[in-house]
Amino acid sequence: MRFYATLCAAVLAFAAAASAQSPAHKPFFSKQILLGAHRGGASQWPENTLYCFQEVLKAHPDVLLETDARLTSDGAVVLMHDKTVDRTTNGTGEVSTMSLAQVKALDAGHKFSTDNGATFPHRGKGLTIPTLKEVLDALPGSHVLVELKGEPALADAAIAVIRDAKAEDRVLLASFVPPTMDRARELAPSMAYCYDMKTGTSLLMALRGPKWADYLPQADVLSIDQGMIARYNMTSEEIKRMQEKGIRFQVHTINDPHRMREFVMQGVDSILTDNPSELAAVIAESRTATK
């Protein structure tokens, strides 16, 4: 029975991949964006705030904004990485137990410091936790990678917001929860998606198996951290083989300049970092060196 269930799942995934737009033809990928700001640039500004996104766009107009989405108790999609608000705000508690009004009352810059807590330059400056809608509406030209941190209901709510903002062509969706990604793809198959834990494992198995030539992409971007790259001992040749099938290769979260240079030279499609200014300098340096 398990074999047949697995076989059926594989057939359905194959059909979905065949019917969806190929990565090369999805509008999100109309331009190549190597520089990615993890949580908007969490080392430089208060993470996941509208202020943070605005500041990184001022400095680096061609940047991929990475952020995290969660549902409040009353169904609003807000941008917060952690399950709780404790680490970044002056409040405590889980986002899922708080209303939008309660979330909005918090100071999103309260704990941000660049000098190990000696000063808190954004405390009391009116920074709030934004909704996904607020960010998409305020930054209409931006490309945004949204990680869905929740169950399938979050996919419903997030895609409704994205459609309302007419942002389907500039949002890339990711999640570590396979059912959430399945629901998102069901609702909006033409949008751009990252591989999840399930499809990503299938991709890597196929890549190193005898039938790679027959593999059809199940998503558009493989986004993995440098630990996984080391664990799987991934090579430049394997990255190139994925890219030849239209699969983008993204690495995160890279904050060491030496590693940034290595990945730029390796030809990855995008790099997420907490320090976008550092990465921008490395990219500029690398491009100058290759002229």
All structural domains of the chain: 2-289 (3.20.20.190)
DSSP 3-state of 231: helix
Residue range 15-36: mean pLDDT, rounded: 73
Q: Which amino acid is at 23?
A: P
Cα 263–chain centre separation: 18
Distances (CA, A) of 42 to 7, 112, 153, 247: 42, 9, 27, 27
Q: Is the pLDDT of residue 11 over 50?
A: no
- To the question of pTM greater than 0.85 for the whole model, the response is yes
Q: Is the pLDDT of residue 16 over 80?
A: no
- Alpha carbons within 13 angstroms on the beta-carbon side of residue 32 total 11
Phi, psi of 194 (to 5 degrees): -90, 155
Tokens describing residue 266? 């390796």
Q: According to the model, what pLDDT value does residue 289 have?
A: 82
Distances (CA, A) of 159 to 138, 149, 202: 17, 14, 25
Write the pLDDT tens digit of every residue in 69-107: 999 999 999 999 999 999 999 999 999 999 999 999 999
74 by Cβ neighbours in 10 Å (0-12 / 13-18 / 19+) ranks as: exposed
